[in-house]
A and B are shown apart, each in its own frame.
Chain A
Amino acid sequence: MRASAPKAYTPYSNWFYLPSAIIYGVLFIVPTFASLYFSLTRWSLFESKFIGLENFKLFFSEPQLVKGFTNTLIFAVVTSGSKVVLGLLLAVLLTSQIVARGYLRSVVFFPVLVSTIGVGITFTVLMNPDHGLINGGLSALGIDGPGWLTDPKYALLSVAAVDIWKGVGLATLIYIAGIVSIPREYLEAARVDGASSWETFRRIVLPLSRPATVTVIILSLIGGLRSFELIWAMTRGGPGFTSDVIASVIYKQYQAGFYGLSTAGNVVLFIAVTAIVLPLSYFLNRKEVDL
């Protein structure tokens, strides 16, 4: 009965798609458009009043916002950059012929498996300026450690350091996969030509693990831009507002009952992440083809 010839053949009837279409519609499309609408209202959960673009105006005039944006960028760039460098170095180490390689590989990956909140709370205790293990160890060496999470100068970077510790395992794993997939012939040819280890790394491993680098940068940059759990568990944006990121600013607005305002903030965050990641992904992927 397939009279309409140009129609592409599909093994399923349209009814087959209905359940997933309904789920997709109810869980994704409706909330997306509802949130666009609610971002234009003053919403108390009990009632909402349409106020046009007021929320966006208010959101952008929020004094925390500038700090939040700067901190988000610092956090994303620092964690993403460190994960690339450390991940690559660790991957080179863990693909070399060292003892207990399998064991070491899993040890690097363990922090990825642990709950973020758990890691956050643990490190909050370790980083306590007076009773924490870290400053305790430093003082045994005669160093007076700073208030890692209570000094406004260090709070954000301390959290970033924990995020790197927790996330570097995934970057390493991606790099290991990338390095292992480099054909052995190249490395052998280089050795025959008398290339030193540094040259092998610089000319072969680094360029050929570009796809891995792209994946690591994009994953960790997106992760860094929308990072929230670790910061919330460790500093709650504090002391004061000094380690606030956009996500924690939005969360605090939501907690305060400014539902319309925080929805507007989420729309802004969505646009900001897209605006940063989309061109970056395009740029990095194009380079890959050029190679």
Chain B
Amino acid sequence: MTIRPPSTALALIGLLALTGCSAGSLGSSDSGGDGKVTISYLIGNQDQDVKTAEQLVKDFTAKNPDITIKTETRPAGTEGDNIVKTRLSTGDMPEVFNYNTGSLFQAIAPQKNLVPLSDQPYVGDLDENFKKTVTADGQVYGVPVGGFMGGAVLYNIPIYTRLGLKPPTTWAEFMANSAKIKAAGIPPVIQTYGETWTSQLFVLGDFHNVAAVEPDFADKYTKNQAKYATSPAALKGFEHTEAVHDAGYENKDFASAKLPDGLRMLAQGKGAQYPILSGVVANMVATYPDAAKNVGLFALPGDDASKNGLTVWTPGANYIPKTTTGAKLDAAKKFLAFIASPDGCKSQTAAGAPTGPYAVKGCELPADVPQAIKDMQPYLDKQGASSLALEFVSPVKGPSLEQITVEVGSGIRKAKDGAARYDEDVKKQAQQLGLAGW
């Protein structure tokens, strides 16, 4: 006797298929027809990012009671990159999300995945430098959250005053200062390789000096004509990382210390100089209120004092994925318009000390910003004393720089070798992006 195909088994398979399909759309149950809209907003899980996002949502929804915004967090760093890419490619991205500008923005295929914002009225109010970093094929896709940041050296002002030092404008002065600080029994340079990204500043923050000597470096770099290992100006960053280690200027626990350790040492005067992004200042001031006046900032020094200047990071941006449509798209656009307005900046200032000037016209910094942020202003005001970091002027950025700079700064690898290795590393990224000439 043959058994007929059991209809229950087939039904079961059908059911499996059905549930498999609908699982993804469960979260986005639509609102009723009463004009109320709920959208989600994906942000990085760093303390300051969350605080800023919550404040923005609070102030925005107070003015727009019909719109509800739920925040969702994701990890920062490369893990976050992956989540953003995966959710975009599966069409599962919340209606608004926050992500980097510059080379990382280019890597999420904006033309294909994001809603262009060029037709929005506020686009004219956005800072030109910022706009470049969220533009692909002539379309603007992002709205800035947070301020510009400087990649620079934060220093402890009381130590400098006590030893009679002044902020250096050349590398030689920097090393001379460090020698005096070391002689006074204080570790001159704070390094925190327990968090690898913090090791890159001597290289990435040196880009203004590179651009000052070789103005076309970024362009040639994108075209595979200039290399870190063969350009003497670009190699300096790696050499500086090595020099600081060879001179014994790092704090003793540099290999295991993390960012909060570094900030503690700097704020308490247990270390004198910390090359880092000015984005960390808000957190430092929140933990050590005295650091607001005790910690200053100077740009990473190069060879030529007259060309000394600040390397600048543009803020991250909020984007709308193409999967957002209808009433939700309108709500998302309204939210972005609020962020790109002076009211939006005020809201961000309320959430924590700004990291630097805002990228929206009409946004003023409050009078009581920390000293380190004030120290950025002269560089930005002076013509030619600031440059965007390389990752904002070239899409080419390798993923392993932080491991390489850890090796160079720990004496495991020589500067020249590290630079050559980084050149190999970026090749993969350039090929992945399909750039010409690689």
- Which residues from chain A sit less than 8 Å from chain B, CB to CB? 1, 13, 15, 18-19, 22, 42, 44-47, 49, 58, 63-64, 128-130, 147, 149-152, 236-242, 252-258, 261
Q: How large is the interface on B (under 10, 10 to 19, 20 to 34, 35 or more residues)?
A: 35 or more
User: In whole angstroms, what is the CA distance A30 to B308 when docked?
Assistant: 57
B12 beta carbon closer than 8 Å to chain A: yes
Decide yes or no whether B386 CB sits under 8 A from chain A.
no
A160→B99 CA distance, assembly (Å):
37
The reply on B76 being an interface residue by CB < 8 A is no
Provide a sorted-by-A list of 7 A–B residue pairs whose CB atoms are within 8 angstroms: A15-B3, A15-B9, A19-B12, A45-B88, A46-B88, A47-B109, A147-B256
Contact B428 A239 (CB under 8 A): no
Known: A151-B255, A240-B413. 12 other contacts (CB 8 A): A45-B86, A45-B88, A45-B89, A130-B256, A152-B410, A238-B403, A238-B406, A240-B403, A241-B403, A256-B399, A257-B81, A257-B85
Say yes or no: A255 contacts B421, CB within 8 Å: no
Q: Which of B404, B429, B432 has the most CB of A within 10 A?
A: B432
When distances are taken between beta carbons in the complex, the residues of chain B under 8 Å from A257 are 81-82, 85, 107, 399, 432
Q: Given that A45-B89, A46-B112, A241-B407 are known contacts, is A130 also in contact with B399, CB under 8 Å in the complex?
A: no
**Cβ < 8 Å to A, chain B residues 67-125:** 78-79, 81-82, 85-86, 88-89, 107-109, 112-113
Does B166 interact with chain A (Cβ within 8 Å)? no
Is the C-beta of B13 less than 8 angstroms from some C-beta in chain A? yes
Within the assembled complex, what's the spacing in Å between the Cα atoms of A161 and B194? 21
- Whether B13 pairs with A258 at a CB distance below 8 angstroms is no
Q: Given A19-B9, A150-B256, does the pair A252, B399 have CB atoms closer than 8 Å? A: yes
User: Residue on A with the closest CB to B86?
Assistant: A45
Name the one of B3, B112, B399 contacting A13, with C-beta atoms under 8 angstroms. B3
- Docked-complex contact B85 and A255, CB < 8 angstroms: no
The answer to whether B196 touches A236, judged by C-beta atoms less than 8 angstroms apart, is: yes
Report the Cα distance A188→B113, complex, angstroms. Answer: 76
Instruction: A238 to B407: give the CA distance in the assembly, Å.
Output: 9
Q: CA–CA, A22 to B85, complex, Å?
A: 29
Give the CA-CA distance A45 to B108 in the complex, in Å: 9
| Contact between chains at B400 and A239 (CB < 8 Å) | no
Q: Check A240 against B406 for contact (C-beta < 8 Å).
A: yes
* Smallest beta-carbon distance A148→chain B, Å: 10
Give the top 5 A-B pairs by smallest Cβ distance, nearest first.
A240-B407, A256-B399, A150-B255, A255-B78, A45-B89
Is B1 part of the binding interface, using a Cβ–Cβ cutoff of 8 Å?
Answer: yes
* Partner among A42, A128, A149 whose Cβ is within 8 Å of the Cβ of B431: A42
Residue B163 is within 8 A (CB to CB) of chain A in the complex: no
Given contacts A252-B399, A257-B432, contact A239 B412 (CB under 8 A): yes
- CB contacts (< 8 Å) of A253 on chain B: these are 428
Using an 8 Å CB-CB cutoff, how does the interface string of B246-270 with A read, 1 for contact, 0 for none?
Answer: 0000001101100000000000000
CB < 8 Å: which of A19, A129, A255 contacts B253?
A129
Give bound CA distance, A130 to B12, whole Å. 59
Q: Which of B82, B407, B421 contacts A239 (CB 8 A)?
A: B407
Does A58 lie within 8 Å of B428, measured CB to CB?
Answer: yes
- Distance A19 CA – B5 CA, assembled complex (angstroms): 12
- Say how far B6's CB is from chain A's closest CB, in angstroms: 6
Tell me the complex Cα distance, A45–B3, Å: 45
Task: Tell me the complex Cα distance, A45–B6, Å.
Answer: 39
CB < 8 Å neighbour of B252 from A45, A130, A149: A130
> What separation, in Å, do the CA atoms of A1 and B2 have in the docked complex?
8
Determine if B256 and A13 form an interchain contact, defined as CB atoms under 8 angstroms apart: no
A222 to chain B, nearest CB (A): 27
Residues of chain A within 8 A (CB-CB) of B109 are 44, 46-47
> Could you tell me if A128 and B256 are in contact, using CB atoms closer than 8 angstroms?
yes
- Contact status B255-A19, CB under 8 Å: no
B428 touches which one: A15, A129, A261 (CB < 8 A)? A261
When the two chains form their complex, are residues B412 and A255 in contact, meaning their CB atoms are under 8 A apart?
no
When chains A and B are docked, how far (Å) is the Cα of A239 from the Cα of B3?
Answer: 64
Question: What are the residues of chain B within 8 A of A18 when measuring CB–CB?
Answer: 9, 13
* Cβ of B127 under 8 Å from chain A: no
- A254→B428 contact, CB < 8 A: no
Q: Is the CB of B432 within 8 A of A42?
A: yes
B193 at the interface (CB under 8 A from A): yes
A242 to chain B, nearest CB (A): 7
With A15-B6, A46-B89, A254-B82 known to touch, is A1 a contact of B1 (CB < 8 Å)? yes
- With A44-B109, A150-B255 known to touch, is A239 a contact of B88 (CB < 8 Å)? no
Partner of B410, one of A22, A58, A130, A240: A240
Q: Determine whether the beta carbon of A46 is less than 8 Å from that of B113.
A: yes
Is there an interface contact between B1 and A258, defined as CB atoms closer than 8 Å?
A: no
B304 at the interface (CB under 8 A from A): no
CB-defined contacts of A238 to chain B, threshold 8 Å? 193, 196, 403, 406
How far apart sit A151 and B113, CA to CA, in the bound complex (Å)?
44
CA A236 to CA B258, docked complex, whole Å: 14
Q: Give the complex CA separation of A138 and B89 in angstroms.
A: 52
Residues of chain A lying within 8 A (CB to CB) of residue B1? 1
User: Is B412 a contact of A242 with CB atoms below 8 Å?
Assistant: yes
* Chain A CB within 8 A of B424 CB: yes
- Tell me which residues across on chain A come within 8 A of B403, comparing CB atoms: 237-238, 240-241
Q: Is the CB of B255 within 8 A of A255?
A: no
Within 8 A of A (CB), among B397-429: 399-400, 403-404, 406-407, 410, 412-413, 421, 424, 428-429
Nearest CB to that of B398 among chain A residues? A256
